[in-house]
């Protein structure tokens, strides 16, 4: 009987080790049941355990009249390098996005004039960071067709769904989690999905109410 507490301690230690072993394989679908790419998926856990460390810096390039990547995820305070790879200027606007894909407060947006690399000029690079969490809309004063998104996430497990709507979130502690989803085409906030993670691979399919846009027609000419 005296050994029992030691066994219990050992069991507690083992379960503590296993707590970091859960993986979450998520499939995100649109309202029609089709794979939904470029959804921002955030996992929230209040269980103890290691958190992944987000990169200190990312780059959002302006290239061929598009933002690359089209959707980026950062943590609050992450250094974001806006880098113009085109031979002509861009004038990037970045600000919190409100419902319906508009700027929440146009007076609070940041604006960056980034020179092109033609004529022997050094391509324009500017570094900014954002502390307020949520979705940001990226645009360009000079090219109205340019649209991108940035999500400042307060979850250490924040990832994008791939072209097949899938993503794998690793290193989440076992136990209860909530999964939040944001997508640029959503009209309403999506309710978080609750799940109970066990050791190993957990699979979760989340159907959203997002109605996907038809892919935009490619820009026929460079308006510079």
Q: Give me the residues that bind Cu ion (CB under 5 A), please.
A: 90, 140, 142-143
The token pair at 29 is: 């679908």
The residue among 137 and 158 lying less far from Cu ion, judged by its C-beta, is 137
Nearest approach, Cβ of residue 146 and Cu ion (Å): 5
Considering the complex, state which of residue 5 and residue 106 has its C-beta at the smaller distance from Cu ion: 106
Q: Are 220 and 42 in contact (CB under 8 A)?
A: no
- Give the list of residues 6+ apart from residue 126 with CB closer than 8 angstroms, or none: 81, 82, 92, 112, 114
Nearer to Cu ion (CB atom), residue 101 or residue 192: 101
CB of 205 to Cu ion, least distance (A): 38
Give CA angle at 159 (17, 74), nearest 5°. 105
Distances (CA, A) of 47 to 16, 50, 107, 171: 11, 10, 39, 12
Distance in Å, CB of 88 to Cu ion, minimum = 8
Nearer to Cu ion, 146 or 172 (CB): 146
Distance in Å, CB of 122 to Cu ion, minimum: 17
Task: Report the relative pairing of strands 22-29 and 200-207 from DSSP bridges.
Answer: parallel
């Amino acid at each position: 009987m005296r050994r029992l507490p030691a066994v219990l301690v050992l069991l507690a230690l083992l379960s503590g080790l296993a707590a970091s072993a859960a993986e979450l394989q998520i499939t995100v679908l649109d309202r029609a049941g089709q794979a939904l790419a470029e959804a921002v998926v955030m996992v929230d856990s209040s269980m103890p355990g290691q958190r992944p460390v987000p990169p200190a810096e990312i780059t959002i390039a302006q290239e061929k009249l598009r933002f690359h990547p089209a959707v980026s995820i950062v943590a609050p305070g992450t250094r974001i390098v806006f880098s113009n790879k085109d031979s002509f200027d861009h004038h990037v606007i970045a600000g919190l996005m409100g419902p319906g894909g508009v700027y929440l407060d146009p007076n609070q947006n940041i604006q960056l004039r980034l020179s092109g690399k033609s004529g022997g000029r050094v391509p324009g690079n500017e570094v900014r960071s954002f502390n307020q969490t949520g979705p940001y809309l990226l645009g360009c004063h000079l090219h109205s067709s340019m649209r991108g998104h940035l999500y400042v996430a307060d979850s250490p497990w924040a990832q994008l769904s791939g072209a097949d709507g899938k993503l794998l979130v690793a290193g989440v502690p076992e136990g209860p989690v909530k999964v939040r989803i944001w997508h640029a085409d959503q009209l309403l906030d999506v309710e978080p999905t609750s799940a109970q993670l066990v050791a190993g691979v957990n699979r979760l399919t989340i159907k959203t109410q997002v109605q996907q846009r038809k892919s935009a027609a490619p820009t026929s000419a460079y308006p510079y």
